[in-house]
Structure 1
Amino acid sequence: MTAPTIDEAARSVADPKAYADETRIHAALTQLRRAAPVAHVDAPRYNPFWAVTKHADIMTVERANNLFTNAPRPVLMTAQEEELQAAAQIRTLIHMDDPEHRVMRAVALDWFRPKALKAMKERIDELARIHVDKLRDAGRECDFVQEVAVNFPLFVIMSLLGVPESDLPRMLELTQELVGSQDSEFQRSTSPDEQMAALLDMFEYFSTLAARRRDRPTGDMASTIANAVVNGEPLGDIDVVSYYALIATAGHDTTTSTISGGFQALIEHPEERRRLTDDLDLMPTATEEMIRWVTPVKAFMRTAAEDTELGGVPIAAGDSLLLSYVSGNRDEDAFTDPFRFDVSREINKHVAFGFGVHFCLGAALARMEVNSFFTELLPRLKDVEPAGDPELTATTFVGGLKHLPIRYTLI
């Protein structure tokens, strides 16, 4: 097999199917890091952009949030999808820059501070125990992703928002349609208009929730957001439901992917699984390694506010840059032996949560969920092996395993 050209490797970052083939995407990103760490990408259906694949360059962009802005193109989408989102006036935290971003982020910030998370830990540990019990009761075989991993984080984030348990199947369907919009198994349709309809369905659900929380606040995060006052004015309807949608999708699918991919890594590296099982004090470093290994958010976009350069490459004002977190987290210059899964990796400055002012709002919650789940699972896991081929989601934004058939013994 001949190696892809630089242009072919660069276009891989805009191909959802490439992320469903880890060998292919990592080969392309490794080639880009070595030969063209800031590579121009001109892919069919997409507006052009620069792919940034080195950890150091990603950090440079993340630190310079005034020079490299989130607006108007925070996520890689086709040109048609960008037009549809702009027309729908979608405005979440990832679409905003300071000072608006800082003010809007503060609306829900208290829910993710250490005091609030400490109060939540008992509930998260309880939910971890419930879902490991479900895994035990399922028998000796299951699809770990669809039967366990999608449900635990969804219960956590919906409990935080205050969504009733009876609505969880509907929320699962909507979040999978949205985050899986590039995957044939989960997408509602190949039509961008139909895919936008899935987002509008979620917005309709959350509009009803917002109206209820304004009429009768219940002390949950949904009430906090619905009744927030920003710059002396109540938060507008589109901002409230956009906030809900971001919390629901980002707080669910990213953690699902980390738990699923982390478990796959432990299955494929039994010596690391034994180390962690024998010494649960390694769980904090193991959690960070799982997050680095999986990198559930594949990339974010930034736009240059003025003429500049990055890695010696001239970048014009208005040019868009894709920050490849997947590549940054396998950068040989940033990590010792980056393709080795190591539950005790101590120097682990991964970029899976981003960096700087846009650092993931729910990072500490995600870490707590991963820690709680595997702290409950591993001491009860007697054996585990694959029961079929794992499958990854086709995506250019958020994703990971969608199927992980396993055979196991659990007490």
Structure 2
Amino acid sequence: MTSMTTGEAGRTFADPAAHADESRFNDPGSRFHAAAALLRRDDPVHWVEADGYAPFWAVTRHADVLEVERRDDVFRNAPRLVLGPAEYDAMRAGGGGNRTIAHMDAPEHRAARAIGASWFTPRAMRALETRVRDLARRHVDRMAGLGGECDLVEQVAVRFPLHVILSLLGLPESEFDRMLTLTRELFGADDAERGRGTSAERRRAVRQDLFAFFADLTRDRRERPTGDLASAIANARVNGAPLDDRETASYYVIIATAGHDTTSATIAGGVHALLRHPDQLRRLRDDPGLMPSAVEEMVRWVSPVRGFLRTAAEDTELRGRTVRAGEAVLLSYPSADRDEDVFTDPFRFDVGRAPNRHLGFGSGVHYCLGAALARLEIRAFFEELLPRLRRIDLAGEPAGVATTFVGGLKRLPVRYDLGRGR
């Protein structure tokens, strides 16, 4: 890695396999983190030209990511939000993609965000906590019943947050497999084991299937509204007018997909981190009061959103570089969350880290709507798991998702001994 050029380092950000390896190893020697460290040091705002991708600026320092997030009047979400192949960008530019709230800019974004905001307030989280803790206990019980060995990702981590989201939306558990498959196909398009295919047409087909699913849900909740989040979205009004079917479906998509995939990645990555740092596992078990800071450290450590793109609305300066109107910048959250200027010993997993100014939930006006729910779920899971955990070890090689957007572990084989629940 010492011979890597800045050009090679920049192209690493557009390599799904590099992100898969980062999830497995998560140390300074991994190809992704070696590339990110090189750019943070030598060229923090770096112009990238990678085969198959439209060019972009890679933004690798914590301060610069914050600046772009803060200047949302200059750096806009539209038209290019996610780093993907150029043919996918072309498809979306031609009207081949449906927009979610994450694609919107002010003032449209502010109005759309308000629809679901009340469902994720501290008061709402207090009302939901009993249900979340019940589901956490249920899934740790399930883990205990698997005979002391399982793939923690497949059999535990993906199931718990998805059940929470289905519960919030008022959907039955019979929809679990369908929603899990569509989410994986959406976020794992670059992964041969998860994606439906890498072509723009196949990516579009996944999105169309998701939107068709939620169009049916919208019709049902408009005809028979209940007290769930799905009904609130289906019957929402913005500036006095109801959302159209595409706008409503787009809201469901971002809640149902981003609301569970990133959390499951953090839970699995958190278990992996504790396995690799047994001193921190002992520390957390001995002092449960560290759980809130441990949750923040897990989010920093995993940084499941690999990055978002923003597009400059006008010529502007960023750390001495001129970003021209129409050029895209990639906000690399895993790089920012290892910035040596912000985090002391950034490759040390520290359950008591404070302060912890991680960007795992983003920042600014686009700060993750479901951050409070994610924190509650992660905390509830580990507060249920750790008191019962007598032993845990790797039972095989972990594997990461090949992606340039949302990632983490796709396999974590573990062997363990769990005590009885309450």
| TM-score, structure 2 normalization | 0.96
Aligned to 1:21, the other structure's residue is in SS state helix
User: Residue 367 of structure 2 is aligned with which of 352, 359, 363?
Assistant: 359
How far did residue 88 of structure 1 move? 2.8
The answer on whether the counterparts of 2:280 and 2:350 sit within 8 Å (CA) in structure 1 is yes
Q: Which runs of structure 2 are paired with 1:125-204 in the superposition (5 Å)?
A: 125-204=133-212
* 1:142-186 Cα deviation digits (max 9, x unpaired): 100000000000000111111111111111111111111111100
Q: Does 1:335 align with 2:343?
A: yes
Residue 279 of structure 1 corresponds to which residue in structure 2? 287
224-233 vs 84-93, greater mean Cα deviation: 84-93
For 1:407, give the aligned amino acid: R
CA–CA distance in structure 1, aligned partners of residues 248 and 273 of structure 2? 37
Residue 57 of structure 1 corresponds to which residue in structure 2? 64
How far did residue 306 of structure 1 move? 1.1
Residue 9 of structure 2 corresponds to which residue in structure 1? 9
Alpha-carbon distance change, 2 to 270 in structure 1, aligned in 2, over 3 angstroms = closer
Residue 40 of structure 2 corresponds to which residue in structure 1? 33
The answer on whether the counterparts of 2:47 and 2:55 sit within 8 Å (CA) in structure 1 is yes
How far did residue 371 of structure 1 move? 0.3
CA–CA distance in structure 2, aligned partners of residues 264 and 17 of structure 1? 19
How far did residue 192 of structure 1 move? 2.1
* 1:111-146 Cα deviation digits (max 9, x unpaired): 001111110000000000000000000011110000
Q: Does 1:70 align with 2:80?
A: no
- Structure 1's consecutive aligned runs of 4 or more residues displaced over 6 angstroms after TM superposition are none
Q: Does 1:240 align with 2:248?
A: yes
How far did residue 407 of structure 1 move? 0.5
How far did residue 293 of structure 1 move? 0.1
Aligned to 1:314, the other structure's residue is in SS state strand
Q: Does 1:18 align with 2:26?
A: no
In structure 1, stretches of 5+ residues that fail to align are none
CA–CA distance in structure 1, aligned partners of residues 263 and 98 of structure 2? 23
Q: Does 1:382 align with 2:390?
A: yes
* 1:29-65 Cα deviation digits (max 9, x unpaired): 0011011100000111111110000001111111111
| TM-score, structure 1 normalization | 0.99
CA–CA distance in structure 1, aligned partners of residues 113 and 300 of structure 2? 24
How far did residue 84 of structure 1 move? 2.2
CA–CA distance in structure 1, aligned partners of residues 16 and 117 of structure 2? 32
User: Residue 298 of structure 1 is aligned with which of 291, 303, 306?
Assistant: 306
The answer on whether the counterparts of 2:297 and 2:350 sit within 8 Å (CA) in structure 1 is yes
* 1:180-225 Cα deviation digits (max 9, x unpaired): 1111100112322122211111111111000000000011111000
In structure 2, stretches of 5+ residues that fail to align are 23-29
User: Residue 90 of structure 2 is aligned with which of 70, 73, 83?
Assistant: 83
How far did residue 2 of structure 1 move? 5.3
